[in-house]
Amino acid sequence: MNQHKEGEPDDRKPSRKIADELRHAIETGELAPGSKLQSERELAEKHGTARNTARAAIQLLAEEGLVTPEHGRGVFVRKQQPLIRLGNDRYSHKYRGTGLSPFLLECAKQGKTGRFEVLSIERIQPPADVAERLGVSDKTKSVLRRENVFWADDDPVQRVTTYIPWTLARGTGLLQEDIPHQYGIHGVFEDKGHVMHRIREEISARMPRAEEARHLRTPPGVPVIDVLHTSLDQTGNAYELTRFVMRADMTGLLYDVPVE
C-alpha cells in the first residue's frame, strides 16, 4: 500500500499505518539493508498504540519479505541477495569446456560455491501432466524421478525434480547420485541419441508449499518461481522434464531470443 496522502481521510488500521511508515523508510533507504528496526515496545510508544499492534505491523512487513525477525536479536531489514540468473543459453555447448552444470557455472560467475544434495532417485508412476508431456503411461512406473536441492554457498536456492522415461534411464548412470559422465545428465541423453534441440519452459509464480519451504528455507513472504522445463531432441520428441522451484529472492530468469 502507498503512503497515505496528506489531506485525505485516513481509515487505515493502526498496524497498517505503522507498516506503511516503516515500508516507506525501507524503500527510500532511510532504513538500510541490515538495519535493526525499533523494538515492539519502542514502536508502540512512538505511535501511541499497544505492543500487539506494533507486532502486527512487523508481521505485515515480514509477510512482504521486507524484514526478517531473528530470535533473541530483533527484526532487521532484509538484505537483497545477488540473483542467480539463468539464461536461455544455459544449455549451450559453448559452456561444455568448463565441466560445470548451468547452475554451478552461474554460481562460479558470482564467486559462490555451488553444490547439490540428492533427495531421492526412484522409478515411479508419473503424475498425469508429466506423463502427457513425455508421452509415457501414467498407469505404470514409466519414469525415473530424480529429486535434488541446489545450494549457493550456504543458501538453498532451487528444488529440482527431473522426470526421465524409464526406457531411456534404465541401465544408465542416471540411476546413480553422481552421474558418471563428463557432461553429466545431458551427456547421457546424447549418448542415447537425444541431442537438445529446443526447450519449452512454462513459468509461474506462487507461494511455496510446506515441503518446499522447508527445503529452501524461504523467509516469510517470499514466493517461488515455478519453471516446468521440457527438453526436446532433434526429432521434436520430449525426452526429459524438469520442475525447477526457485527462491524468487535469489533467482532470476533471462531470455534473449529472436522473435519468430
Side-chain half-sphere CA neighbours of 109 within 13 A? 15
β-partners of residue 242 are 162, 229
Mean pLDDT of 47-66: 89
Please report the pLDDT score of residue 140 as a whole number.
97
Q: For cell 537425444, what's the residue?
A: 194
Domains of the chain, by residue range, sit at 14-77, 84-254
Place of cell 526447450: 199
Pairing of the two strands 251-254 and 238-247: unpaired
With 0-12 / 13-18 / 19 or more C-beta atoms within 10 angstroms meaning exposed / middle / buried, residue 31 is buried
Q: Which of 31, 134, 106 is nearest to 75 (CA)?
A: 31
Mean pLDDT of 209-214: 94
What pLDDT shows up at residue 2? 47
Cell digits of residue 189 = 541423453
pLDDT digits (tens, 9 = 90+) for 184-198: 899 999 999 999 999
C-alpha to C-alpha distance for 66 and 71, rounded to whole angstroms: 17
Residue 206 has φ and ψ, to the nearest 5°, of -165, 175
Q: Is 3.40.1410.10 the CATH number for 84-254? A: yes
Closest CA to 164 of 79, 67, 231: 231
The tens digit of pLDDT for each residue in 11-54 reads 678 999 999 999 999 888 899 988 999 999 999 999 999 999 99
Place of cell 560445470: 100
pLDDT value for 219: 82
Q: What is the pLDDT of residue 246?
A: 94
Q: Is the confidence at residue 79, as pLDDT, over 80?
A: no
115 or 79, which is more confident? 115
Q: How many CB atoms lie within 10 A of CB 180?
A: 11
What's the pLDDT score for residue 212? 96
120 pLDDT exceeds 50? yes
As a whole number of Å, the end-to-end CA separation of the chain is: 39
Q: Which CATH code is given to the segment(s) 14-77?
A: 1.10.10.10
